[in-house]
Amino acid sequence: MLTILQEEQFESFYQLMEDSFPRDEYRPYQTQRALLSHPNYQIYVYEKDHELAAFFAAWEGPDFIFLEHFAVKESFRNGGLGSKLLQEFLMQHEKPVVIEIEPPEGEIEKRRADFYERNGFSLSQWGYVQPALAKGQSSVALVLMSYPAPLQEQAYQSFKNWVFKHVYS
């Protein structure tokens, strides 16, 4: 069962983020911690055996949920937990869900896209370059996937405008 991140879980959450994402794809510690008070940002966690096993970090936009980060701790992977938790997350939200992934060109990126497609997401033709999240970090080319329906151009433009104004500003 997914619950809302509690203050005392932040260290475990941030460690899992560091372990799961390239440096250019997450914010520095203090910047990330400051987001906890943002009204449109929420971190959902899953604990197993008193250990943080997975998390979802999401933004609520006017017409969609932006699932910015989702990770399962390595020791809990490959048993179907990620799919089970992703389905639970999707059921908890009525709005369409949009995610960013690296273009599926390498093996790992293709496996990631396949995972999301198996879970009902559609790969879109649209993407953008995520600006650097902090000084010393690099920008990242990304493509969008959406659930439950493929992203249409108008929704893409609306999402992109919103995300650059509220998430990447």
Return the CATH number at 37.
3.40.630.30
Domain that holds residue 97: 3-166
Question: Whole-prediction pTM value?
Answer: 0.96
CA 140 to CA 85: how far, in whole Å?
26
pLDDT per residue over 58-106, tens digit each? 999 999 999 999 999 999 999 999 999 999 999 999 999 999 999 999 9
Chain-wide mean pLDDT for the chain? 97
Q: CA of 151: how far to CAs of 20, 59, 96, 99, 159, in Å?
A: 26, 18, 10, 11, 10
What is residue 16's predicted lDDT score, i.e. its pLDDT? Answer: 98
Domain count, the chain: 1
- Is pLDDT above 90 for 169? no
